[in-house]
Amino acid sequence: MAYRVFRSPSRYIQGVGAIDVLGKEAAAYGKKAFLLTDDFVWGLLQEKVERALEGFPYHYKAFTGEASLEEMVRLADEVADATVDVIIGLGGGKIIDVAKGIAAACELPVVIVPTTVSTDAPTSAISVLYTQDGLFDHYRFYAKNPDLVLVDTQIVIQAPIRFFASGMADALATCAEALATKASGENALAGGLPTIAGTAIAQACEETLFRDGLSAFGDVQKGLVTPAVEAIVEANTLLSGLGFENGGLAAAHAIHNGFTALKGEVHRLTHGEIVGFCLLVQLVLEARPCEEFQKYSQFLAAIGMPTTLAEMHLTGATHEELVKVGKLAVAQSNTMRNLNKNITAEQVADAILAVDGLVGKE
């Protein structure tokens, strides 16, 4: 029997100054925290975090490794030694994914405080794990979502504009992948068939991006927090997070993972920059009308996201190299089947090359 499944974090807080209630909110889950971040983030936010956690003891740990299973195991051992009862993950996607893994391994609640809105990792019960060399390894699933996701809008807009735009590019794939999953009859990452709610949230994510994205992009460049900015922060984080987990991933993220098979400057790109390009590849594989392709590609270009092989640092990539991307993309550990289980590595390579031609005609 196939069941419909929906899951989400227990609590989500967003707004200017939200970091100020971190200690009060974390106290609902424990009496001492293991605070995982990195030295760069700590250098920027130490004063704010210390003020927010005044009177709430914590053990600080700087994250320096890869989002790998080995790193999770190592840090879980440190958590046991620190005698803490709640995990706080403060930072970007890899720190967030590792914090979730540590909490699951130690059976502790976890509070996620993203410092950018460049990915939709904060709300999900999933970590994307890599090898120590940075090659995509597998998705790791947990029994529950984060207990609290706390997003301070004023903090996340201080990150380079590239990260804000990358979050939009990642979120833009949410609806296309959710609709593909629904049409295929495959399960979403939540562990069952997509719900009406999951698909609707994915659609609301896309609608919000096209309505408010360009305005918010300009506002963040000026350091402003406007209603449009708040809407896009929510779209990048909550709507995209709930949409991908409950609606499903398909070709865009599968091909993103496939690109980890390549060496070179493509690895300088953010998760969202690669996913945005891979969304265009998915649209080619779906044989979407040219007008639809242009709607997505022009939006991505307007926010500075790569839409050509040159912008992906892949000008010299051979067809053989792109077939390697395709082989990893169609592997069983990936989500290509949610679009079409019969797609081949060669078709993926051809679609990557076709994107470049279609963008060039606009």
Residue 59 designated active-site: no
Residue 256 designated active-site: yes
Confidence of residue 338 (pLDDT cuts 50, 70, 90): very high
| Parallel/antiparallel/unpaired status of strands 148-152 and 12-15 | parallel
**Region label for 91, one of left (φ > 0), alpha (ψ between -120 and 50) or beta (otherwise):** left
- Residue ranges of the alpha helices (H) in the chain? 22-26, 39-52, 69-82, 93-106, 153-156, 161-184, 196-221, 227-234, 240-247, 251-258, 271-285, 290-302, 319-329, 345-360
Return the C-alpha torsion angle 263, 266, 272, 278, nearest 10: -80
- pLDDT, one tens digit per residue, over 189-200 is 999 999 999 999
Catalytic residue among 170, 212, 219, 356: 170
User: Could you identify the residue written with the tokens 């529950």?
Assistant: 144
- pLDDT, one tens digit per residue, over 271-313 is 999 999 999 999 999 999 999 999 999 999 999 999 999 999 9
- pLDDT, one tens digit per residue, over 208-264 is 999 999 999 999 999 999 999 999 999 999 999 999 999 999 999 999 999 988 988
User: Could you identify the residue written with the tokens 């679009």?
Assistant: 339
By the 8 A CB rule, do 276 and 300 touch? Answer: yes
Q: What is the distance between the alpha carbons of residues 208 and 205, in angstroms, rounded to a whole number?
A: 5
Q: What is the distance between the alpha carbons of residues 129 and 96, in angstroms, rounded to a whole number?
A: 12
User: Could you identify the residue written with the tokens 């996913």?
Assistant: 275
- pLDDT, one tens digit per residue, over 308-328 is 999 999 998 999 999 999 999
**pLDDT of 361 higher than 70:** no
Provide the mean pLDDT of the chain: 94
Catalytic residue among 97, 212, 271, 356: 271
Question: How high is the pLDDT of residue 275?
Answer: 97
Residue 267 designated active-site: no
Residue 313 designated active-site: no
